[in-house]
Amino acid sequence: LQHVVIGDGADKASELWANRTDIRHLPGIKPHARHLAPLAEARLAKGETDDLAYLVPAYGKGANVTQPAKKAQ
C-alpha cells in the first residue's frame, strides 16, 4: 500500500518521509475542494455513495487546542 502526500504541509515536512518506500510525496501540488467535484460526480453516476455518519477525515497531525490567555485586569 502506497500513500501519496500533497499540499503545503507535505512540502514543508517532506524530510519526514524521505526514506519511506510506502509514502510518495508529490511536491508543488496545492489541493483544492473544486478538484473533488468531478470525482464525486463520477462515483455518484455509478451509484456509489458513502454513509456520511461514518466518514472520518484523515488528518496528518492532531489539533493544537489551547486555552485562551487571561486578559489583564
Give the tens place of pLDDT for each residue, 29-52.
988 888 889 999 999 999 999 888
Q: Please tell me which residue, 63 or 66, carries the higher pLDDT value.
A: 66
Global confidence as pTM: 0.48
**What pLDDT shows up at residue 23?**
92
What is the domain count for the chain? 1
Residue 13, in any domain of the structure: yes
Domain that holds residue 41: 3-47
Asked if the structure places residue 52 within a domain, the reply is no
* HEC profile of 10-65: HHHCHHHHCCCCCEEECCCCCCCHHHHHHHHHHHHHCCCCCCHHHCCCCCCCCCCC
